[in-house]
Amino acid sequence: MPTKFLLFVAATVLCLPNSASAEDISFNRDVRPILSEYCFACHGFDAKQRKADLRLDVAEGAYAERDGDTPLKPGNLMESELWLRVISDNPEEVMPPPATKKKLTAEQKETLRKWIEQGAKYQKHWAFEVPVKPTEPAVKNSAWAKNPVDRFILARLEKANLTPRPEANRSTLIRRVAFALTGLPPTPAEVAEYEADQTPQAYDNMVDRFLKSPRYGEEMARSWLDIARYADTHGMHLDNERSMWAYRDWVIKSFNDNKPFDQFTIEQLAGDLLPNPTKDQLVATGFNRCNVTTSEGGSIEAEFTYRYAVDRTSTMIESWMGLTGGCAVCHDHKFDPISQREFYSLYSFFYSAADPAMDRNATTTDPFYKLFTDETTAALTKAQAEEAEAKRLLEDVVSKVEYQDPSTQQPAPERRAVEEVWLDDLVPMAAKATCTSRNASLWSTAPEVEPPIGRRALKQIGAANYQDKFETPTQPLRIPEAAKVFVWVRLDTQEPPDAIMVELGSAAGARKAIWGDPQRFSATRMDKNWLGELPAAGTWTRLEIPLEKLDIKPGEEIRSLAFSQFGGITWWDGLTVTGDTTPATDLRSSFAAWWKDRTGKDTLGLPADLTPVLKDGPEKNPTADLREKLLRFYLAYIARPANPDVQQRLTAWLTAQTVRAAIEESVPGTFIFKNLDQPREAFVMLRGQYDKPGEKVEPAVPAIFPALQKSAPDARASRLDLAKWLLAPEHPLTARVTVNRVWQQFLGTGLVKTSSDFGSQGEVPSHPELLDWLAVWYRENGWNTKALVKLMVTSATFRQDAHVTPDLLKVDPENRLYARGPRFRLDAEQIRDNVLYVSGLINLQMGGRGIKGYQPPNIWEPVGYADSNTRFYLQDHGADLYRRSIYAFLKRTAPPPFMSNFDAPNREQACARRERSNTPLQALQLMNDTQHFEAARAFGERIVTEGGNTPEERITFAYRVVLSRQPQPEELAIVKQALDSYLIRFNKDPEAAKKVVAVGESKPKSGRPEPELAAYTLLANLVLNLDETVMRN
Amino acid sequence: MFPTDLISRRQALSRTAVGFGSLALASLLANDAQAAPAIVDPLAPKAPHFPARAKRVIFLFMKGGPSHLDTFDPKPLLDRDDGKPLPFAKPRVQFAPTGNLLKSPWKFQQHGESGSWVSELFPHFAKCVDDACFIHSVHGTNPAHGGALLKLHTGSDNFVRPSMGSWVTYGLGTENKDLPAFITICPTLAHGGINNWSSAFLPAVYQGMPLGNASVPSDKAQVRYIANANLPRDVQRLQLDRLRAMNLQHQAQSGPEPALEARINSFELAFRMQTEMPQVENIADESLETQKLYGMDDPITANFGRMCLMARRFAERGVRFIQVTHSDGNVQWDQHGNLKAGHEKNAREVDRPIAGLMQDLKARGLLEDTLVWWGGEFGRTPTVEGGSNGRDHNPEGFTMWLAGGGTKPGYHHGATDDYGYYAAQDKVHIHDLHATILHLLGLNHEKLTYRYAGRDFRLTDVEGNVVHQIMKT
């Protein structure tokens, strides 16, 4: 295959420049890749797959005599069976066997020959040797090197007879640095500041300014969130929303605070096990909660508990150790020394997770941590106290009520008018509330909406048939005589629903009242419960529910209230019933009537001692004391208020309750990771099947690595021990893997190109000494990430100009030797943020719940499940449309297309390296996406209003803002000509201009003529779509 | 060397084919076999491993589980023993509990010279059975929609793997430079959604291009971002010409960059697609007779009919892999209950369009080298679910059919047991089916590999046996 061919080419060209000469063969550099590719599958680490009981991955296996033959006789070619098999013509003997369809090349054979002749020396795979800081190599052109990084790069270049490119010009440099460190271009003012600084520290100063920007954390966090597989939904089945954004914000803050990588590691893997963990340390454990979860009915819990632990283990192995653990889930790893047993020993660190196998499709799956601040804690404590006091005051005033049961009064009191509010600020007492979102009901207060009555209104948002249902077992809701029922409703202006519905449920079934498109609730306009079209959006409307039409009769007991809407945003408030009652039989006037009614029935919400009293009925003659207590309960919580004092205190108590609930609900939370109190026993799972446990395992690390230090010798190893083990100086991988990823981020390709595979099937490093030097330097410098970043971006290597000559392209097409500066396409987020930034539309607000920007229609809607709470994409409006891309809401089964189009992963699994593809869909997006084109419009307007008065000045302005440089005369000429033709076109066709200018939700502010704005929109669009613009040069 | 004047459209297009960039690069790299792969067009047509019988695939995917017992796999014993218990054990893993045997509510008849059994659900397709090649012994491993769907499309039910269309495109490239190589018409976004047409670790150029999705009527199906509602086309063309001129000018400064060359080309393909896609989607130039053939004259069949007709139009334009999904926003072929009405509605929607597609392909000589493939992610149980009118998911044995593309016409391969629960004879696993389809396309499923995460991956993982019996001799 071409890819394999390329891989080999890369290895030979870059790593074996002199392999044909008599130079010493290195096992790790030269031989291991060959053996790994051709031999280890049958003669390697995996005992089960091993053929002829022969191991070639260790010297002991290869040197041992077997039946008179020796696979490898150091120094003796013709007595080495391996060599004889490799050169054999006999299809029965030749290795690799013809059936594998693998064939050694002449060069590879030559390498093996020399290796055997030179003594067939083995080394541990390079990545499992502890890195030792190498001495910086001698170089001829030492003046070029700005720091030790450059000496390693230069030494390699000099060996290949290449010379580095000169330093790029300042405008290129500042744009490169700004994108690298903040994901945004520099402003013209920043360019001017840098260009004006003529001190020798000018470059360092410029770098420092960007390192201090809060944008730095946002840019750095992107790659880590790819590793952590962070997203805003569960991932499977309904793919409902989950609340995890506090973890995302923690990552951003950690980079901005320059949290040392060892702390960063410990807090994410084991923050919960630290002594008295802080809020942030608990939030950090969200790393291990970012995996995909399910709650699909019929799923087998044991299977998912198992799968989550496998995911967490594999993610840890890939993220910190740069190895592919997945192979060892089912069998011993064929290429790397991780046995299946060792994999499951690592897995047992994660197998005792406290989170449930089924996520409940809820936003708040446990363990869920509420993010209280000092203020919210204080406010809640106060509100709780006030609520208790209000309750006490209510019961106090009720204790003084002189009650005479109307059923015993003579003459019986007259029928009288009543008004009852069945739903106001709170769920009816002891009601069972369910919501199709799987979450608690949502409530809005001012200023979001001003409720028509009380303090808050029930809010519904999103999914198809979104319903809040309240079953009311305690409060008797009886339809009075001559009753009328009303409800307040308000529809969102920008996202009105298709239809709304109220259901009143009684023993006779649920009676529905529908407004809007009746089909949404499986009805038609002919049905009598279709009550008309939707009320006007953006205002409160009081709708009447005509009882007669719905066949609801006086005296009927309503047991449930349900509010539904379809596909929009709706608020409900104040379901109110008016009518007449006869006090003697009214359940809320006559204690005796109420008690009789509840006799023999279960009633929720009573104090424990009263529950049986009520159910047993008055005939059972409870003690006078209990009877009195039940009466006082009735008067306080069930009956119509006996006098204005009771009314006033009842209202005060309900208000206090609402205030307390509103505070609780306003406090966001996030998924955190915790262990079960009792650890689960973990087993090797045979063939990776969740229901085939084999041998029992304890938490432990693979034998090839240094030993794990436990907190106490006889203690069970913990995740905290594991995290510390990863960071131990003798751990061969963590520092290497981490510096390699940072290098990849800034230079385009890792020193180890396969940044998630440092195993023997991965690529060997292009600069092994540099990798080790950086790894040790990073650790010795306290895992200081900003220092590491600065070291890289201030190197002469990074600062080279990216110009490529045909000769250089021939020698080093992928720029693995760094004889030129890095140049590659911007990432998805950078492409979007760039245009928002230069257009002036951007909103740099940080943190919080994911935002939903523009996207083409029908991306979320069809994801199968009508009751998913992420079924309907309800685009945000206003300033949220222009937030940075890192805050985009990520739904795993339907990620934002602007992200996936430009190779952002869908975050289902850890991703250490994004592709940089080039597809027509990307071009379509750049040509036609509303966000992109709107930004061009806004930028076009900026060009006209800020860019000077002549077309030339304005074009120059556009170039300076987007590319941080002046246009060349030829460019100016082309763009000017383009602008002229657009002006002619739009002056002739003002309708077309109007359409261009109308793109997006933001509006032009300058009042300039539309044809002019349209022409400059196209000019802006042209500059924003230039290859140079979407590249980091 | 850079253009000081605007490049005309004509010049611009001539540069696309053998433009400055590609010529310059080609000469630069002519002597350099090592660097050459870096600029090869990844979608250029590639020779198959051996002569292909089929050049392209149209996959008619019935989302859910069409019941083989009620369509193409009649079971006399099921009729006889209706209401009795299944006389052998049910599988260890079942999706939902089921009861006793349930006979098919539909009558079967033999059709064509092949004498193929078809139930009254498919009266139109019944006329095409002599062109179809039925496999009655397909089986999978996963009884849930999500896993089964992914298994069918990607060969894996639990890992993110490239979909079959991506593998085929990777193996063969495409013959039409103005259209995507892999198009999926109205795909379902549920149960793996995009993963069912994603290229996973294969380069992104091999991903499927969705045209609408399952809850959008096919006359409203569109490629995302296909048009700019705010910009006239002629202005956009002007704009692209300028962009190309500027990019080439920049290239002259920055040195030869394969990535830049590719970007220029992708803008051009995008623009051509903007022209070409609406043309293919616009079926107005088809005769009324043809439209009728696909059932466009009947509101019940018009939606799927349009999808099938578009599939033919893509096929004749050289698109490599075309998937057509029959589903509404939910799981359409999923009659746990309401089997009678549900299957009748589903079959009525697809029967005429499928028969029309078969006849049309045949009449145009396209059936020769177009492989048509029909099926769902599993079949259904012979035992009843719920009351008396439903069947559960059944991955243990079910029917799919192939047609054209070198398959044996009027042929029946394999069989389920006497009650249709398990594949019993000449079993064909999903992996085997994949291997066989690749084989028909001239690809050796063991050789079609991609190196990722340290190993060579295949569509068929480490499984798959080619079913040679179903191929025309």
Give chain B positions within 8 Å (CB) of A1027.
247, 250-251, 260, 263-264
Most A-contacting residue of B225, B266, B333, B444 (CB-CB within 10 A), to test interface: B225
Q: For A113-144, how does the pLDDT look when each residue is reduced to its tens digit (9 = 90+)? A: 999 999 888 888 889 999 999 999 999 999 99
Domain that holds residue B385: 42-225+287-470
The verdict on residue B449 lying in a domain is yes
The overall average pLDDT reported for chain B is 86
**How much is the pLDDT for B371?**
97
The H or E element spanning position A502 is: strand A499-506
Give chain B positions within 8 Å (CB) of A894.
189, 193-194
**Closest alpha carbon within chain A to B204:** A917
- Whether B231 sits inside 8 A of A995 (CB atoms) is yes
**How much is the pLDDT for A576?**
92
Average pLDDT for A591-598: 92
Inter-residue contact A633 to A610 (CB < 8 Å): yes
**How much is the pLDDT for A238?**
85
Which of A911-915, B171-175, B260-264 is predicted least confidently?
B260-264
- Whether A810 sits inside 8 A of B28 (CB atoms) is yes
Nearest CB partner across the interface for B455, out of A761, A864, A916: A761
- Whether B215 sits inside 8 A of A858 (CB atoms) is yes
- Whether A1022 sits inside 8 A of B454 (CB atoms) is no
Inter-residue contact A615 to A599 (CB < 8 Å): yes
The verdict on residue B219 lying in a domain is yes
Measured CA to CA, the distance from residue A875 to residue A494 in angstroms comes to 9
pLDDT score of A554 more than 60 = yes
- Whether B454 sits inside 8 A of A324 (CB atoms) is yes
pLDDT score of A321 more than 80 = yes
Nearest CB partner across the interface for A971, out of B231, B246, B453: B246
Radius of gyration of chain B (CA): 24
Measured CA to CA, the distance from residue A241 to residue A867 in angstroms comes to 12
User: Which has more confidence, A991 or A66?
Assistant: A991
Nearest CB partner across the interface for A864, out of B158, B189, B239: B189
Backbone angles phi, psi at A252, to 5 degrees: -60, -45
- Whether B450 sits inside 8 A of A1 (CB atoms) is yes
pLDDT score of A306 more than 80 = yes
Pairing of strands A368-370, A557-558: unpaired
Most B-contacting residue of A689, A921, A1001, A1018 (CB-CB within 10 A), to test interface: A921
Any idea how long chain B is?
Answer: 473
Give chain B positions within 8 Å (CB) of A804.
254-257
- Whether B40 sits inside 8 A of A759 (CB atoms) is no
The overall average pLDDT reported for chain A is 90
**Cβ-proximal residues to B336 (8 Å cutoff; 6+ apart), any chain:** B96, B385, B386, B390, B391, B392
Nearest C-alpha neighbor of A939 from the set A997, A859, A890: A997
**Closest alpha carbon within chain A to B28:** A806
Query: Band of the pLDDT at B16, cuts 50, 70, 90?
Result: very low
- Whether B227 sits inside 8 A of A992 (CB atoms) is no
Structure tokens at B176: 């039409």
Could you check whether the bond before residue B409 is cis, i.e. omega within 30 degrees of 0?
Answer: no
pLDDT score of A1 more than 70 = no
**How much is the pLDDT for B37?**
34
Query: Band of the pLDDT at A557, cuts 50, 70, 90?
Result: confident
Q: For B232-273, how does the pLDDT look when each residue is reduced to its tens digit (9 = 90+)? A: 888 888 888 888 888 888 877 777 776 777 777 778 888 888
Q: Is A22 exposed, middle or buried (0-12, 13-18, 19+ CB in 10 A)?
A: exposed
Could you check whether the bond before residue B97 is cis, i.e. omega within 30 degrees of 0?
Answer: no
Give chain B positions within 8 Å (CB) of A762.
454
Nearest C-alpha neighbor of A500 from the set A535, A454, A524, A458: A535
Neighbours of B23 (CB within 10 A): 12
Inter-residue contact A513 to A534 (CB < 8 Å): no
The verdict on residue B19 lying in a domain is no
Average pLDDT for B220-235: 82
The verdict on residue B3 lying in a domain is no
Structure tokens at A780: 């010795």
Query: Band of the pLDDT at B112, cuts 50, 70, 90?
Result: very high
Pairing of strands B391-394, B116-119: unpaired
**How much is the pLDDT for A862?**
59
pLDDT score of A12 more than 50 = no
Most B-contacting residue of A125, A324, A820, A917 (CB-CB within 10 A), to test interface: A917
Nearest CB partner across the interface for B454, out of A761, A973, A985: A761
Query: Band of the pLDDT at B205, cuts 50, 70, 90?
Result: confident
Give chain A positions within 8 Å (CB) of B224.
856, 859, 897, 921, 924-925
Nearest-CA distance from B280 to chain A in Å?
A: 17
Query: Band of the pLDDT at A7, cuts 50, 70, 90?
Result: very low
Nearest-CA distance from B52 to chain A in Å?
A: 19
Pairing of strands B411-413, B132-139: parallel
Query: Band of the pLDDT at A424, cuts 50, 70, 90?
Result: confident
**How much is the pLDDT for B296?**
94
Nearest-CA distance from A811 to chain B in Å?
A: 8
Nearest-CA distance from A94 to chain B in Å?
A: 21
Backbone angles phi, psi at B3, to 5 degrees: -75, 125
pTM for the model stands at: 0.80
ipTM field: 0.72
- Whether B271 sits inside 8 A of A757 (CB atoms) is no
**Which CATH number is B125's domain given?**
3.40.720
The verdict on residue B58 lying in a domain is yes
Residue A691: C-alpha distances to residues A306, A680, A683 (Å): 9, 15, 10
- Whether A906 sits inside 8 A of B270 (CB atoms) is no
- Whether A927 sits inside 8 A of B270 (CB atoms) is yes
Radius of gyration of chain A (CA): 36
**Closest alpha carbon within chain B to A925:** B225
**How much is the pLDDT for A335?**
72
Nearest-CA distance from A978 to chain B in Å?
A: 7
Q: A557 in helix, strand or coil?
A: strand
**Cβ-proximal residues to A115 (8 Å cutoff; 6+ apart), any chain:** A25, A27, A30, A31, A121
- Percent of chain A residues topping a pLDDT of 70: 96
- Whether B229 sits inside 8 A of A995 (CB atoms) is yes
Most A-contacting residue of B169, B216, B230 (CB-CB within 10 A), to test interface: B230
Any idea how long chain A is?
Answer: 1033
Query: Band of the pLDDT at A5, cuts 50, 70, 90?
Result: very low
- Percent of chain A residues topping a pLDDT of 90: 65
Nearest-CA distance from B278 to chain A in Å?
A: 14
Nearest C-alpha neighbor of A996 from the set A912, A936, A942: A936
Average pLDDT for A340-346: 95
Measured CA to CA, the distance from residue B270 to residue B249 in angstroms comes to 21
Nearest-CA distance from A171 to chain B in Å?
A: 15
Most confidently predicted of A207-221, A515-529, A573-587, B193-207:
A207-221
Query: Band of the pLDDT at A446, cuts 50, 70, 90?
Result: confident
Average pLDDT for A336-352: 93
**How much is the pLDDT for A865?**
63
Residue whose tokens read 């076009």: A940
CATH architecture of A417-581: Sandwich (2.60)
**Cβ-proximal residues to A754 (8 Å cutoff; 6+ apart), any chain:** A762, A763, B453, B454
Most A-contacting residue of B63, B224, B239, B443 (CB-CB within 10 A), to test interface: B224
Give chain A positions within 8 Å (CB) of B273.
920, 924
Average pLDDT for A94-115: 89
Residue whose tokens read 């790397």: A336
Backbone angles phi, psi at A101, to 5 degrees: 60, 25
Domain positions in chain A: 2-123, 417-581, 928-1032
The verdict on residue B158 lying in a domain is yes
- Whether B194 sits inside 8 A of A906 (CB atoms) is yes
Which of A460-464, A614-618, A727-731, B350-354 is predicted least confidently?
A460-464
The verdict on residue B238 lying in a domain is no
Split into its structural domains, chain B has a count of 1
pLDDT score of A827 more than 70 = yes
The verdict on residue B150 lying in a domain is yes
